[in-house]
Amino acid sequence: MANWKLFTLLEREDWYALIDYLEDRVYTRKRFRKQHLRVLINTYVITSQPEKIARLEQFLRENRANLVPRFALHLGIPHLLGNSPQDMKAYYGEMRGHPRCADKDWIDWAYAFALMLDEASEDAKEVLMGILDRTKNDVLALLTLYLLDAFTVSDNQVNNVVVERKRAFQAKYTSEQWNKEVEKNRGNLQVIILSKLVRDASAWVFSDGTQAA
């Protein structure tokens, strides 16, 4: 019956009723099903309520702290959207050091982004190069390359890596193929939140080839 209620509200796209239903289960009944938490956070994003994600993070810290690193990427959205590099550094620095942290490469990217905003360039460069060495996700690799481009003037090694990987992208994907690859990754909330940056990075990587839309 619980799943029937959930799927009915999802099918109707009755987002506010869905939020009420899931908030009752989480906050009132203190039932922390992962599926419900994931849907609740996604619905907060759909309804443009990142402040409610921050409230959920605090509630989980107080009641089921072990779930915070498992939902680190989802719960990090308010931190990513905020205007405080210090807050981003604190949150993503904590999460990346946790042994149960999920989506570690994406968490590392957000941490490096925070470091760059805080003008800790050398530390950011080290983290980004590490991501590039190990990630198998091409959207994340592109965003990493895009940030690394800031270091190409001062670091010849980074410049060589960026040039080589940029050419590899152009050889691997046509504009249409790349757009499909990005679309496949839209199940990741981080990709949705960073959609403008993804578009900018896509235009950049294909700037001397076929430009992606």
Question: What contacts 211, CB < 8 A, 6 or more positions away?
Answer: 175, 203
Task: Supply the pLDDT for residue 37.
Answer: 97
Q: What is the pLDDT of residues 30-51, one digit of tens each?
A: 999 999 999 999 999 999 999 9
> How much of the chain, in percent, has pLDDT values that exceed 70?
96
Tokens of 29: 């009944």
* Residue 150, pLDDT above cutoff 70: yes
**Under a CB-based contact definition with an 8 Å cutoff, are residues 75 and 64 in contact?**
no
Mean pLDDT of all residues in 98-125: 94
Kindly report the average pLDDT of the chain as a whole number: 93
Nearest to 150 by CA among 142, 162, 132, 140: 162
* Residue 211, pLDDT above cutoff 80: no
Mean pLDDT of all residues in 107-121: 95
Question: What contacts 127, CB < 8 A, 6 or more positions away?
Answer: 108, 109, 111, 112, 115
* Angle at which helices 138-148 and 156-172 cross, to 10°: 140
Q: pTM for this one?
A: 0.90
* Alpha carbon distance 147, 116 (integer Å): 9
Tokens of 118: 């805080």
Tokens of 71: 């939902």
**Under a CB-based contact definition with an 8 Å cutoff, are residues 17 and 32 in contact?**
no
